[in-house]
Structure 1
Amino acid sequence: MKESINKKLQRLNSETERIYESIDKIPAEKLGDQSYGWSIIQVFSHLNDAETASLKYMQKKMQAGDKMNKSGVGNAIRMWLTNQALRSPLKWGAPSYISNPPAYELEEIKSKWTETRKGIQQFVDEYPEQWLNRLVYKHPMGGRQNLERAVESFIYHQIHHVHQINRIKKQLGL
């Protein structure tokens, strides 16, 4: 089952590389332009902050070990519905604890995000097989989920924000 999680992490990282390629030729001042709400850099920062907060939560939750509840069909359905909403171009506000992302330089946020992803990979590598069906993650909309669905949620969260990045690029005339 960890093989499936690792494939999802590879997909997440590949999708991130595609985003970077899509903004490769955009000048730094445009990447930081907040004329239409969040800048592209702030979107990256938000994605990193969400993944960092999720990783910290999972690290703490894992300490409960066998006391973590088991995942069921209801959890899977709720996350599937959440992911379908995230795939859409619909807009909604971020949770308050990650709603005002800082604006970094591009290389700084890329470095921070790379470190977060390394932390997630390490967490997955060290996560005990016998807990793979335990509810270690809590999504703001999708509720409590197991590790595999946590990684899936990162993918769909990122897809959701690709819509936002594309809107920003269009508004900036890029």
Structure 2
Amino acid sequence: MIQELQTTFTQIEQQKKNLLASIADWTPERLALQPGEDAWCATEVIDHLCKTEALILSVLPQGMEDPQPIDKRDRVNFHMLERLFRSEKQVKVPTTAHATLPAMNFLHQEVVQRWDRTRTELAQLLDAIQEDQLKGGIFRHPQTGWLSLPQVLTFFSVHMIHHTYQIKRLG
């Protein structure tokens, strides 16, 4: 199981690199261009991805100390969210996740550096994980319910897929 987590981590790192490479040649003005009143610019999308991962990462150690049962409803809800995020359908951030909303008081490169630091912390957590810490739900997603660590990593992946569609619409 630990090897699978490392493989998934490698995959989400590659996704991140691909996403950032897709906008690497954009000008600062293009990165900050908002296509509409309630629409995010590319830098805001990256900020949201970073904030989401950092927030989840911040609660994982506590969740691993007290894992919760993952019931059938949690699994079904996660499967539905995963399918939704693999589609191009636009989705609003849950009101309970307001801390992950982006802000435009930074430079694009600062956001990328924060995301790099968050991923370094995630890699360190995965390097220190023991098999017995992989039982049960360690993060409660506001829409789906309890997620295991493998599901958290899958969430990071499909969340990026979802926002990659958004970046493509900006291009």
One fold, TM greater than 0.5?
A: yes
C-alpha displacement at 1:109, in angstroms? 0.9
| Equivalence for 2:16 | 16
| Equivalence for 2:76 | 77
C-alpha displacement at 1:29, in angstroms? 0.8
C-alpha displacement at 1:156, in angstroms? 0.3
Corresponding letter in the other structure for 2:79? W
- Structure 1 pair 111/76, CA: closer, same or farther in 2 (3 Å)? same
Residues 1-174 of structure 1 mapped to structure 2, 5 A cutoff: 1-36=1-36, 37-64=39-66, 68-96=67-95, 97-98=98-99, 100-103=101-104, 104-169=106-171
Corresponding letter in the other structure for 1:15? Q
Q: Output one character per residue of 1:56-103: Cα deviation in whole Å (capped at 9) or x when no partner.
A: 121222233xxx224455433332221001111111211332353122
Q: Output one character per residue of 1:121-149: Cα deviation in whole Å (capped at 9) or x when no partner.
A: 11222223112122101222221011001
Distance 1:161 1:98 in 2: 17
Q: Output one character per residue of 1:40-65: Cα deviation in whole Å (capped at 9) or x when no partner.
A: 0000000000001101121222233x
Gaps of 5+ in 1: 170-174
Query: Contact 1:132–1:147 (CA<8 Å) still a contact in 2?
Result: yes
- Structure 1 pair 160/39, CA: closer, same or farther in 2 (3 Å)? same
Distance 2:25 2:157 in 1: 24
Computed over aligned residues only, the root mean square deviation of the Cα atoms, in angstroms, reads 1.6
Gaps of 5+ in 2: none
Give TM-score scaled by structure 1 length.
0.88
Give TM-score scaled by structure 2 length.
0.89
Distance 1:100 1:78 in 2: 22
Distance 2:85 2:52 in 1: 14
Query: Contact 1:5–1:148 (CA<8 Å) still a contact in 2?
Result: yes
Question: What secondary structure sits across from 1:81 in the alignment?
Answer: helix
Distance 1:69 1:100 in 2: 27
Count of aligned residue pairs for this structure pair: 166
